[in-house]
Amino acid sequence: MTEPAISSAAATITLRVAEARVEDIAHAMARLSPADLERIGARPGDILKITGRTSAVARADVSDAAHDGLIQIDGTVRSNCGAGLQEHVTASPVESAQAVSVRMAPLWAGAAPAIIAPERMLEDLVGVPVIQGCAVRVPTFAKAVNFQVVRTIPSGTVVIGPRTDIRVVEGEQTAARAPAVSYEDIGGLEREVARVREIVELPLKHSRIFERLGILAPKGVLLYGPPGTGKTLLARAVAAESRVHFIHLNGPEIMRKFYGESEAKLREVFEEAARHAPAIVFIDEIDAVAPKRADVVGEVEKRVVAQLLSLMDGFVSRGQVIVMGATNIPEVLDPALRRPGRFDREIEIGVPNTQARLQILKIHTRAMPLGSDVVLPEIAEHSHGFVGADLEALCQEVGMIALRRFLSAVRLKPDTTESAAGHARRLPVRIERGRAERDARVLHREKLVDVRLARRPERRETSARRGRRALAHARRDLRAGRPRAAARHSARRAVRNREDRHRAGALRRKADPAHRHRRPAALLEVAG
């Protein structure tokens, strides 16, 4: 590994950006090797100024010695300093003061300030260094909410303390966007992420490298694998980290009612991507748009496939526009779509192994107050066959179980929602293994991970159940010597199949003496 560049005058070091650890996400941490910290005269806990295209601040900590020359920062810090993975930034110690007051605005217009109370935000942001204009990420039970620091008192680099006055400023929502999804939100797909970045980020950011080598840059990548493995999440993370225009298009949305509208919709999407280049066009469920033309009957599907082929590799170059597709059944795609020049790479997003499941569990439980008896490696070991969506559902379900325990123990008032939410954060969440005592819903693939649920509602009575009940009543009436009642109940018997008709007819003949001579011997046994 090459030695990092050091400027002794300003105690500045140049480092290469790497992914942060799962436990450091949303805490503004920057991990350096012990040797790199010593070179700039910093210690763990000091505040560092990280400069890429812009500047950000983070708290220093120690990484492994093998990470010499690297700085591990999460997606929020990378966005604040304007740097991506594998890019170079400079880091140096900076003086900081205790924050007296911090004003923040939500980064999304849909994020209402009342979602998180200031007391709740302060609990998560104590010890986080900030500067004016930087973004901070506040984790919640469901998802993280991004805010931008509007003002600080005093100005400059400040550290949020337990007595800092934090307020959310209404009506000052900024147009800046922090990455909604980063590479740290994807667990167990390191190799797949590296391959996608090689295909997507290099042509968009460093197109001249391909010109110098005399080769064409890749123009498309196809992600395939079982449902819930993270194909769409990976595409969103690549777009957010690359800081390019992203167009998400579901395959069934392209199909239109009238002649020519489906092809026009495709052309509009690619024209928009060309106007905002560099851009990524992500077509989810692409098998609905481009099936094999030899297998389809309608002319509409054939025209849509032909239009997509011409847009991906036609006479007019589409410029810096990368096409990404995702499907669960790649074998049904048209073969012309999978040739080089259109989808240059096909990457399988498979079912995660034990280590990948552990990473996914850590990601989904990093904002949850887990109980001391929760052992995530054991849960990952016993959840064989679970994909990312299954593990997310498991974490959500155990959270709901903890919520039920909380609601049964605490009496809520209409005006104490935020205080109740604060108490709920201290309620430990336990992931229980083993068969539940009463009702259970099993999330299973090859091994079982059972969680206890509330009692299921009664099933609605079907016609078959009504028929079985009527047959039982008819037999009871026959044994009691009530042939008329038996005939009435047998008439209500469900007669959907031949066996039902035979049984109902046998009961009628047994109840009506005039028809006793017609009873076959086999039906007498059924009726009795």
Q: HEC string of 94-151?
A: CCCEECCEEEEEECCCCCCHHHCCHHHHHHHHCCCEECCCCEEEECCCCCCEEEEEEE
CA-based radius of gyration for the chain: 31
CB 89 within 8 A of CB 83: yes
Average pLDDT per 10 consecutive residues for the chain, totaling 528 residues: 52 90 86 91 92 93 85 90 88 93 76 59 87 85 76 92 86 52 85 86 79 82 92 87 85 76 87 87 88 78 85 66 90 87 88 92 85 88 91 89 78 52 53 38 40 42 65 74 64 51 63 49 37
Closest CA to 13 of 48, 39, 34: 39
What amino acid occupies position 202?
L
What amino acid occupies position 191?
R
**Full strand arrangement of the beta sheet holding 158-159:** 97-98, 158-159, 129-130
Residue 517: the pLDDT is 45
Question: Which backbone phi and psi does 6 adopt, to 5 degrees?
Answer: -125, 135
Beta strand pairing call for 220-224 and 145-153: unpaired
d(CA 396, CA 43): 39
Question: Which single residue is written with the structure tokens 């003949």?
Answer: 509
Residue 427: the pLDDT is 52
Give the chain's end-to-end CA distance (angstroms, integer): 88
Name the class of domain 189-348.
alpha beta
Q: 260: which DSSP letter?
A: T
- Best CATH choice for the domain 1-172 from the list 3.60.10.10, 2.40.40.20, 2.60.40.1120, 2.40.30.10: 2.40.40.20
- Best CATH choice for the domain 354-452 from the list 1.10.10.10, 1.10.150.120, 1.10.8.60, 3.40.50.1100: 1.10.8.60
| 392-239-246 Cα angle (round to 5) | 110
Residue 490: the pLDDT is 62
Per DSSP (E only), the strands in 193-335 are 220-224, 245-250, 279-284, 321-327
For the purposes of burial, counting CB atoms within 10 Å of the CB of 231, is it exposed (0-12), middle (13-18) or buried (19 or more)?
buried
d(CA 498, CA 507): 14
Closest CA to 62 of 33, 85, 86: 33
Q: 286: which DSSP letter?
A: G
Report CA-CA distances (Å) from 508 to 404, 466, 467, 491, 511. 52, 18, 15, 8, 5
Peptide bond into 129 cis (omega under 30): no
Residue 123: the pLDDT is 81
Q: Where are the domains of the chain?
A: 1-172, 189-348, 354-452, 463-527
Residue 477: the pLDDT is 72
Closest CA to 474 of 438, 442, 512: 512
DSSP calls for 375-393: -HHHHHHT-TT--HHHHHH
CB 121 within 8 A of CB 136: no
DSSP calls for 79-92: HHHT--TT-EEEEE
For the purposes of burial, counting CB atoms within 10 Å of the CB of 213, is it exposed (0-12), middle (13-18) or buried (19 or more)?
exposed
Residue 475: the pLDDT is 76
Question: Which backbone phi and psi does 72 adopt, to 5 degrees?
Answer: -95, 110
